[in-house]
A and B are shown apart, each in its own frame.
Chain A
Amino acid sequence: MDFIDFLFNSVNLITWKQLVMIGVGILLIFLAIKKKMEPSLLLPMGFGAILVNLPFSGVLNQTLGNAISAPGAIQWLFEVGIEASEIFPLLLFIGIGAMIDFGPLLANPKLIFFGAAAQFGIFITIIVGGFFFELKDAAAIGIIGAADGPTSILVAQILDSNYLPAIMVAAYSYMALVPSIQPFAIKLVTTKNERKIRMPYNPKNVSQLAKIIFPIVVTIVSGMIAPASLALVGFLMFGNLLRECGVLKSLSETASHTLVNLITLLLGITISFKMTAADFVNIQTLIVMGLGLFAFVFDTIGGVLFAKFLNLFSKNKINPMIGAAGISAFPMSARVVQKMGVEADPENHLLMHAVSANVSGQIASVLAGGIILSIVPLLL
């Protein structure tokens, strides 16, 4: 090989698909920095997409010459942190659990059912996805509607979906787009008068004992009805127990700050391993992205319609927008509902109700992931 060939070997071998993926990486970095869309994930993912799509990338396992094996750092991170044990998304759940205050939900427990109703998008998407994909992939794509990145990664990985990279990108991108997607979906199925409905808020004190017992009860209940959800729910509730127990303040703070930051940093760059041109640049990716959007819209619609259904029988009317906050995107969804409530009526403050529904969505989404993991393998 002469020197010029050696110098331009990589340039000559780069494919148009790899160039597309490098463009996608730059787009993700742009969205993270300029539009502030989930920057902690999109920026590492974007940079990782550039890293893994350069020919002979040293971040992936390579064979140098004819015999020398060179391990790649990002491939190793993926194999150890996601493929072997799903430990990265699970550790992230400890941090998320340590960040969530279930107090508003304990004070107003009937709103827990909105968390269940707002998972509707997951299941309607599985049905629609079944027209395009085989069962395990349709189920993995449906879980984008959990509005919960770690759950999406975990379910897609365990089900060995062929569309893991697209699912990951869709899950995180649409979470960042909740402030745009949800108002559109809510307005589709509500009138202005419905959005004006006021809900009095009577704050109740919740004892620390109740807050301590709650994560233990949720873990046991989830384990009984969907054992496959235990990894997800258990780690989430373990983090919450650290927060509420009152004797592990430094651990709780470490989980909710340092651990979350560290895992988020590694998770973003690790999942970019699957963003290679060969896996990503195809028409199925576009279909997955479309179905992900569909799932988010129908989650919102499901929650809103459930609230309207309850209003048929209830004397104290519920603002239907509270149903939309039942998705797991916390706290973006609650903020959207509060903002829309104030837009419809400047005196209409729905934030605390929306927060209650929103944290119940956290529980329901991981439960949904576990339920899918329990049911789908039986049908394969």
Chain B
Amino acid sequence: MNFSTENLIDTLNISWQGMLTIFIGMAIIYLAILLLTHPIKRKSNK
């Protein structure tokens, strides 16, 4: 066992920051996909 409060706080920090960053990254990519595909959709509808 390697328990220490400092280690626990560090791992908790990595975890919430990591999950949040992934969601932010994926949200930006999601918006980029919408931008990429939206004008093309409009063009084909014409």
Interface residues of A (CB under 8 A from B): 105-107, 109-110, 112-113, 115-116, 119-120, 122-124, 126-127, 129-135, 138-139, 204-207, 209-210, 213-214, 217-218, 221-222, 225-226, 360, 363-364, 367-368, 371-372, 375-376, 379
Per the bound structure, the CA–CA distance linking A210 and B43 in Å amounts to: 13
Listed A/B pairs (26) with beta-carbon separation below 8 Å: A109-B30, A112-B26, A112-B30, A113-B27, A115-B26, A126-B11, A126-B18, A127-B11, A130-B7, A130-B11, A131-B2, A132-B2, A135-B11, A139-B14, A205-B44, A209-B40, A210-B33, A221-B29, A225-B25, A360-B26, A363-B26, A367-B25, A372-B18, A375-B14, A376-B14, A379-B14
Q: Are A123 and B37 in contact (CB under 8 A)?
A: no
Residue of B nearest to A220 (CB): B32
Nearest chain A CB to B18's CB is how many angstroms away?
5
**Interface code B9-30, partner A: CB below 8 Å = 1, 0 otherwise?**
0111111111101111111111
Per the bound structure, the CA–CA distance linking A124 and B22 in Å amounts to: 14
Nearest chain A CB to B6's CB is how many angstroms away?
9
Residues of A within 8 A of B30 (CB): 109-110, 112-113
Q: Are A134 and B2 in contact (CB under 8 A)?
A: yes
Residue of B nearest to A124 (CB): B15
Per the bound structure, the CA–CA distance linking A110 and B37 in Å amounts to: 13
Known A-B contacts: A116-B19, A130-B2, A131-B7. Give 19 more (CB < 8 A): A113-B27, A113-B30, A115-B26, A123-B15, A127-B12, A127-B15, A130-B11, A131-B8, A135-B7, A135-B11, A138-B11, A205-B44, A213-B36, A217-B36, A225-B25, A226-B25, A367-B26, A375-B13, A375-B17
